[in-house]
Amino acid sequence: MMAKAAATSAAVVKRKKAKYAMRPPPLANELALMQFADGGDMDSNIKRIMEAQTKVTGAVALADISRDAEGGIW
């Protein structure tokens, strides 16, 4: 009986983790926070984030961002 309860409990935990998983903040939010805390302009903060992501992933070249017509950064 105890093994069955542990198995169902583990299944519930797994299902809830999948449903309520924390996602990283959107890039625009992270950039706004960087600008508030450290100052500087958006372009220099974008470059800092892309350089940090390049170091983490081990990529050779910097990634690029996209901006939409409404000013969103992706």
Amino acid 9: pLDDT: 83
Asked if residue 7 belongs to a domain, the reply is no
For the chain, the average pLDDT equals: 81
- Give the pLDDT confidence score for residue 15 in this predicted structure: 87
Asked whether residue 31 is assigned to any structural domain, the reply reads yes
For 5, 16, 22, 34, the CA distances from 19, given in Å and listed in that order, are 21, 5, 9, 29
Q: What is the pLDDT of residue 7?
A: 62
What's the total number of domains in the chain? Answer: 1
- Indicate whether 6 belongs to any domain: no
Looking at the domain assignment, is residue 12 inside a domain?
A: no
In 15-74, beta strands by DSSP E:
none
Please give the residue range of the domain that contains residue 68.
24-74
Residue 5 lies in a domain: no
Q: What mean pLDDT is predicted for residues 24-53? A: 87
Position 3 confidence tier, pLDDT thresholds 50, 70, 90: low
Going by pLDDT thresholds of 50, 70 and 90, the confidence category of residue 37 is very high
- Is 17 a domain residue? no
Within a domain: residue 68?
Answer: yes
Taking the whole predicted model, whether its pTM rises above 0.85 is answered as no
Residue of 71, 63, 64 lying closest to 32 (CA atoms): 71
